Structures are given as structure tokens and as C-alpha cells.
Structure 1
Amino acid sequence: MGLNIGGVVEKVNGHELSYSTFVEKYLSKNEPVVITGFMDDWRACRDWVFDDGRPNLQFISSNFGDSKVQVADCGSREFTEQKRFEMSVSEFIDQWLEFSLLEHGNHPPSKLKGKTLLYLKDWHFVKEYPEYTAYTTPLFFLDDWLNLYLDHYHMHEDPDTNQKRDDLRCSDYRFVYMGAKGTWTPFHADVFRSYSWSANVCGKKQWYFLSPGQRHLVFDRNMKSSVYDIFEEVSETIFPNFKKTIWLECTQDQNEIIFVPSGWFHQVHNLEDTISINHNWFNAYNLSWVWDLLLGDYKEATEYIEDVKDICDDFEGLCQRNLAANTGMNFYDFFNFMVRFSFANILQLCHLAGSSAFAKWRSSCKAQHFIFNLESTKDIAIKMKFTCLSEIHNFSLDFRSILEEPAFLELCFQLERTGAFIHDQHAPIDNTKKYSMDDLVDLGFCNLFSTVVCNPEDLVILIDRTLQNLIILPWERSRMAGVNEIEFPASL
């Protein structure tokens, strides 16, 4: 039985779409879209592709062939994914070219026996080759908290779950994919239920999308396992509701970028030899998707080892370690991430308020952007209050100590840079010193230094009071009254 195709993904010219319109129509509504016009000046589109559109595999092998990468065997399943193994880029390309020669030559079937289609996935190209600017992230996808954070911090602070600093497998979520015609990715939803964008440097892909509201239709009766391949014979006994699904499809051509929203399951097939660049990312618009996934996976992890609860000295710690191992982060990692981003967004608002002579700063696009970031973070922190995080022990992040971290100062500047590109269409002056304690004292925000966050309730109070003091109280009235400091919550 074939798929019930209910529509196609919309295609738009990126140069005819503003950032605010993209947010309104696609990001905030969590709808997929294909965008054209953003790849014309990419170096990858010149170096990695011949004039006739074929991938220049020799160039890639000669310049980046020593890299060790993950390769999927498209003909072999391992649990819910394709079987993977590691090889060098040059070895992968050699096998690709060998298979292509055998497939298109006059060779007997016995020659192809044992040969399989291999798909290079999750190559951390940007981290490995930072001096080679293969592409620039399109404006619509710049507000990327996940990769911005991982450029400066580990996601896992717990030494039991922390990877080594030089372990590229956990360093970022910016990837290069390469595969011959016929390679494919099984049915799945993206890591962390993040957004993703995928740009075809060359080749053509066929996408099949299932909206989040139909998720229950592709799982078994216990909601534990989902369909692996939507084109194989799907068992009606195991997946009785699969036949009710309604799909969107999309053919993505060379130099087109597809935006994949949170929670949309999809299966992808390469119709031609293809190279793509892919990012997973999240920000204030889809934080709730990330938290909902963590909470659901936590409940599963807890239920799975419930029988050892009475004999385990640190059952909660064991659950969190398992969650980090299976999902990629745990409650503590995510809360740490949220607190640092809250501090960084508060600093952005402080500088906007302190450097503006008029009340209109509050209605500027940049101010509204950072306010929305804080309000979204607060919404998640409220949900976190009803978990084990409400009783965190030995956890605290204080503003003064965070300000002394070079990584945090760089994070703040990159967040400012993102806001400037999105709303002002230019980069700010590179000056991390503006986030120093002396600078904040000059702006009248020294009360922030005594702020300490120990749990989600503290974070909610901090954000509420910050927005109240910065947004509701007139800045001009404080100046006219000779007030030198804005009141912020002290140690919470």
C-alpha cells in the first residue's frame, strides 16, 4: 500500500522573505519550508562540485581525506538505525567510486555481491576545518543556541558523563553528509526534537514528512518503537494505525535549503549523488520541545530501572546518567544551559537599556527579541520546578563568577552579534570587555553581581524581577531622580 500524500512542502525565495516573516510563518508555527537563493556565494558550492553538478570527490579526498567519519551501511539495520562504522573520508570515497564503477559497468551480478551503499553522516566538518569557510549560516538560522553554547562549553558538566574536550562526536551539531544515488536515512525525528536545516551542495533528495500530531500513528501499541522504513511492508499487527497517516513530500534540488521543524518525523532518499550541509539547533521558539523530550525520556529511564530503586544509593543520579547517555543531555545539563543563556540575555537587555536615552529601546526589535528569549526560558523553568531539579544539591551559578569566565564573555558577544545580524543586518564591534563588571557598574547594574541561581524557582524569580525592573519601570524616571542603580534580586 502506498503512502497517502496530502500535500507538498512550500518553496520560497529567501531574498523575498524577511526574518520576521520567516519567524511568523514557519519558525513559530513549526512548519517546514524549502528556501532558495542563500547558497550562491558558498565556497563549498564551488570547490566540492563540478560544473555539471556532480560531486568533486577527488577534491574532497585530496584536501580532507584523513578525517575519520561515521559511515552508515544503507542495507543493514542495527536496532532503530542503520549499522555504522568508522573509516577515513578517503577510504569512503574510494569505496563510493568502486561501487559506482561496478554498478554502471558491464559486470556480472556476482561482482556486486557483498557490496553495499555507504552513506557518510554526521561529519563535524566545521570543527575539524575552522579555517576553511565552506559556507555561512543563513540569516534565518543564526539564532542557534545549541551550537553557540557548544562552541564555548560542554553540554555535560558531570565528569561521569562528560566526553573529552577533543572528542568531536559531542562537539557540535553541524554536519556534512555525503552519499551516492540510492543512499537514504530511515524514518526518524531529529535529536533533542531540535529544528534542523539541510542544504544540498549538489544532488537531489526526496523527503517524506509526518506532522507531530500524527506521531501516535507510526508507533506500536505501547508507544515504544516506531516504523523503520515507511516503504517496506509495515506490519498492521504491530503498527495498526500506520495506514491512517497523511504525508507531505518534497523534492529538494541542488542549492536549496530545507527547514525541518521540531518533532516532524521524516524519511529521506538521495535521488542523485548528493552532498549536503546540515545543522541541528534550538532557541527560544522550540525550547519546550527539548524539555518535553527530556521529560519523556527521563520517565522511560526511571521506569526501566525501577526495580533497583530500593537498593541504589543514588537512584536519581543513576537516572540522570542514563538520560545523558541515551538522549545526549540530562536535566542538570539543560538547566545549566538555561541559566547561562538567561544571564547572557539579561546582559543584552542591560546594555540596551543603559546605552539608550529614550524609552523607545523597549519596543525595538532587538529588545523584544531578548525579552522573548527570557520569557520562553522562564516558561520552561516553571515546568522544571515540579521535577527533581527543585531540590538540586551542590548546584549554584552566581553572576559574578560567570562574568569571570572568558567563555561566557565570548558567548555574550556572539549572542549580541546574532541579534545585530538579524535585526540590524550588520555585525557589532568585537568587544567582549563591554560585559566586564566595571562596565556594568558604570551602567548602574552592579546589583546583578550578588545574584545566585540554585534551582528553577530562583531562575523564575530572577527573570521576573529583571523584566519588571528593566521593562515596566521607566528608565528615564530613574535617571531624572538621580538613581544610579537598577534594583535586581540579590542572592536568591
Structure 2
Amino acid sequence: MDRATFACSTAFFRDYNSSSQGAFCLPGGHVDFIEKVESFTYSDFFRDYLIPNHPCIFSAKFTEDWGSRRNWVTWDGKPNFDHLLQKFGEAVVPVANCDVKEYNSNPKEQLPFKEYIKYWKEYIKNDYRSSRGCLYLKDWHLSRAFPEQDVYTTPVYFSSDWLNEYWDAIAVDDYRFVYMGPKGSWTPFHADVFRSYSWSANICGRKKWLLYPAGQEEYLKDRHGNLPFDVTAPSLQDRSVYPRYNQSQPPVEIVQEAGEIVFIPSGWHHQVYNLEDTISINHNWVNGCNVAIMWCFLQDELAAVQREINEWKDPMDDWHLQCQLIMKSCTGIDYKEFYNFLKVIAENRISVLENGLDDEASAKNTPKAAISTLGMLHAVFDLKRTVKVLTSLSANEDFKKLDLTSLSPPPEALLHHLKAAIDTALL
């Protein structure tokens, strides 16, 4: 991060209100296409797309050196089933049935990868029909299962990735996925986990994206407050069921070609179709630009849980703890883990600012090396954003009602350390 970008981001977030993020929209539905690798810098992306929460498409030049682009695709642009079977045939993968709706999503099952590829080949042979329905391999943690494989390199533009930095640190999960599906497979209307950013790269095939700027989803809810499963369904025209649908903007429509990367802004709901047999790689990620949106989302999720079990508040001694447990089961995180998430992010940056990197650490693919690559000013920006959100979390009444004695260091001590590190770095 250069000084001009640091100054721009500091000025923007000084007056930023995360609750107003839905006001952003695209005039005419235009999405920028980034053509040349050599003329597009990290600061360009940070300033023009991350800060304003603006989608864009990166050309296939940004992925042309990936191993998956070379090895997973045949000469005519189709999935290379033989190579994939050779490398991953014995893996077990999550597969969704796109033809079945269950609790407002597609039900999943675990299948051997070789069985899924056999199904896919037969599905193509039978003119994209099967008694099993349209099956879509989704949310496969391939990088975690096969770290030795030369699949892809995360572009520098997406390298400030707090989600995967934290989950890698605790060795529990990650938010790096591979998707593989036949023509006609699709993902229903949704926003990404924690209202994170996402980037999605097509290894082969084509996708159609329907994007709704954050806040537009409010107009798409039915009279009970539920979002549609399929945003293209004719039933949305029924004003007795969807009373505000006619107030919504048309979606921003993108057709993504092979090799291209789509950047999806934080909190944007979307629906996605595979127009051809398609393989894609996707990351969900959070950083200093959208961590406040994540925090607002968690507060909204907790409030929804509290409304659902409000009748048990008086007779239940540990009602606040139960609300946290339910929220974590639904969203994957609770307030105390969110504190630990912020702590890991903060401590990694404080370490780099205070101690720098030795030659051995610099040569490795580690979070601290990535922080160093993005520059000291980026680390300071991250700490300033962490202070902002941690201050709000510490003052939150629901957070203060929890047993915080297990948190180390205590929130007040971490905040003091953060502020001191920022002051020292800016001397």
C-alpha cells in the first residue's frame, strides 16, 4: 500500500458508516474489465474496488500461468476428466442436487470423486439429463486436502485475507473452494458467508452472474421477510407475496468467460449459472475494508436469534450463552471467537511492525510474509480498522454479558497494545 492509498483509505473510513453500504449502486449496471496485469496495481484495486465495494472482472491473463489452467483443461477448453481422475479420483467430495429444494437450499451428499466424474460424463452423453438430477460439486476444500498440488496462486489483489489467515492459524477450516459442474448447474440466491468478499476464477467453462448491490435484497423479501430461492422465479411478480419487488433495481448481469476472475463485493447477493461444463476456484475473504460489515452482520444474526427464543429469556439462566451457541451453529462464529479472530489478525501485524521479518520467514508463504509484502502502511491500516471494530465489540452489551475471563489478553489490554503499535509505527 502506497502513501496516497493509505491517506485515501484513512479519510474514507474516518466517516464511514457500515450500515450505509447498501446505498452504493452501479450506473447502468456497468462492471469494469481489467485487461492488463502489468498496468494494474494492488493500490489500484484497493482504491477503486475494495474501498467503494465495486465489482470488477479480471481478464484471463491474470490466471494464464496457473497449473489448473494448463492441466485441468483439454485442448478444446473442456474439463480434463482423465487428469482430474488421476490426481483426485479417491477423494470424497460434497455434491449438491440442483433439482431439489430443501430448507431453501440444495441438499448435499458426499460422493467419491471418481463416481461424480462418471456421473458427469454420462450426464453429458445423455444430453444433460439424468434420473439423479443435475449434480453440482460445490465447496470442495481441495487446497486443504491436496496442498502439494500445483493448482493456482492467489492473486496479490486478494492477499489481504483475514478469514483464511485466522482459520489457517487455528487449523480448523478454510474458505477456499473448488466448484465443478455440468452445463445447467446453478447456485440459488444468496450472499456469502459473514457478508464477505469473494473472488471466483473460471478454470474452464462460462458462468452467468446476477448481482444485487447490498441493500437491494430488502426489496426481494416476501411478506414474511424471507428471501427468494430463485430470484428469476415468476412468483416474485405476485405483489401479494413480494410486496416490494417492483421497487428493486434490475440485477447487474455478468457473463464470465474461461480464465476470468470475478470480484464480488461484500454483502452483494447473487445467483450463478453454469452456461457450460465449468470448473471454478473461489475464495471468501474479509479484510480491513469490510470487517465492519462482518461485525454488523453478526449483530444482526444475534438479534434474530434473540427474537426467536425471547420467550425463554426469563426462565433460562444462561439465555445469553444459549443465544451465542445458536448463532455459532447457524453462522459458524460467535462473539468470543470473533474477538479471537480480531486478536490473531492484530497480533500478526503488531509482530511485523515491531520485529520485522527475518530472511527465513520472508521466504515462506506465511501470513506475516504476506503482510510484509503489502507494506507497513497496510499493516497500520489493518490495525486502525481492527481498533475501530474491537472498540465497538468491547462496548457491546451482549458481549459484556458473556464470561470473558478466558480471553487472553483481555480486550482492554489488546486495545491498548494496538493503539500503542499504531502510534509507534506512525512516528
TM-score interval w.r.t. the shorter chain?
Answer: 0.7 to 0.9
CA contact (8 A) 1:10 1:32 kept: yes
Q: CA deviation at 1:390?
A: 2.9
Select which of 393, 406, 409 maps to 2:403.
393
| Other structure's SS at 1:266 match | strand
| Other structure's SS at 2:426 match | helix
Residue-by-residue CA offset, 1:225-260 (whole Å, 9 max, x unaligned): 101112211232222222332221111000100011
Q: 2:65 — aligned with what?
A: 41
Q: CA deviation at 1:352?
A: 5.2
Q: How does 1:145-184 map to 2 (within 5 A)?
A: 145-153=162-170, 171-184=173-186
Q: 1:226 — aligned with what?
A: 227
Distance 1:470-1:205 versus aligned 2 partners, 3 A rule: closer
Which whole-Å CA distance do the structure 2 matches of 1:332 and 1:26 have between them? 31
| Other structure's SS at 1:316 match | helix
1:139 aligns with 2:161: no
CA contact (8 A) 1:53 1:202 kept: yes
Residue-by-residue CA offset, 1:63-107 (whole Å, 9 max, x unaligned): 212211111111111112112222111111111111211127xxx
Select which of 85, 100, 103 maps to 2:124.
100
Q: 1:463 — aligned with what?
A: 418
Unaligned runs of 5+ in 2: 1-26, 358-372
Residue-by-residue CA offset, 1:346-375 (whole Å, 9 max, x unaligned): 12221359xxxxxxxxxx972221111111
Q: How does 1:474-489 map to 2 (within 5 A)?
A: none
Select which of 238, 247, 252 maps to 1:244.
247
Which whole-Å CA distance do the structure 2 matches of 1:63 and 1:470 have between them? 47
How many aligned positions are there? 383
CA contact (8 A) 1:99 1:115 kept: no
Q: 2:368 — aligned with what?
A: none
| Other structure's SS at 1:86 match | strand
| Other structure's SS at 1:199 match | strand
Which whole-Å CA distance do the structure 1 matches of 2:52 and 2:198 have between them? 15
Q: 2:8 — aligned with what?
A: none
TM-score (norm 1): 0.74
Q: CA deviation at 1:462?
A: 2.8
Which whole-Å CA distance do the structure 2 matches of 1:374 and 1:35 have between them? 29
Which whole-Å CA distance do the structure 2 matches of 1:150 and 1:14 have between them? 32
Q: How does 1:110-129 map to 2 (within 5 A)?
A: 112=129, 114-129=131-146
Distance 1:14-1:27 versus aligned 2 partners, 3 A rule: farther
CA contact (8 A) 1:202 1:254 kept: yes
Distance 1:394-1:381 versus aligned 2 partners, 3 A rule: closer
CA contact (8 A) 1:8 1:250 kept: no
Which whole-Å CA distance do the structure 2 matches of 1:336 and 1:206 have between them? 37
Which whole-Å CA distance do the structure 1 matches of 2:29 and 2:324 have between them? 41
Distance 1:365-1:341 versus aligned 2 partners, 3 A rule: closer
Q: 1:17 — aligned with what?
A: 40
1:192 aligns with 2:174: no
CA contact (8 A) 2:136 2:182 kept: yes
Q: 1:488 — aligned with what?
A: none
Q: CA deviation at 1:309?
A: 1.8
1:275 aligns with 2:279: yes
CA contact (8 A) 2:67 2:152 kept: yes
Percent of residue pairs identical? 36
Q: CA deviation at 1:58?
A: 2.3
Q: 2:266 — aligned with what?
A: 262
Which whole-Å CA distance do the structure 2 matches of 1:9 and 1:81 have between them? 28
Q: 2:11 — aligned with what?
A: none
Which whole-Å CA distance do the structure 1 matches of 2:81 and 2:116 have between them? 10
Q: Which runs of 4+ in 1 moved over 4 A?
A: none
Q: How does 1:234-383 map to 2 (within 5 A)?
A: 234=236, 235-246=238-249, 247-351=251-355, 366-383=375-392
| Root-mean-square deviation over aligned CA pairs | 2.3
Q: CA deviation at 1:14?
A: 4.6
Q: CA deviation at 1:335?
A: 0.4
Q: 1:86 — aligned with what?
A: 110
Q: 2:362 — aligned with what?
A: none
1:63 aligns with 2:87: yes
| Other structure's SS at 2:240 match | coil
The structure, 1 or 2, with the larger RCO (C-alpha pairs under 8 Å, 6+ apart) is 2
| Other structure's SS at 1:11 match | strand
CA contact (8 A) 1:12 1:34 kept: yes
Residue-by-residue CA offset, 1:455-474 (whole Å, 9 max, x unaligned): 3x4433332233234434xx
Distance 1:8-1:469 versus aligned 2 partners, 3 A rule: closer
Which whole-Å CA distance do the structure 2 matches of 1:352 and 1:42 have between them? 30
| Other structure's SS at 1:103 match | coil
Which whole-Å CA distance do the structure 2 matches of 1:119 and 1:68 have between them? 14
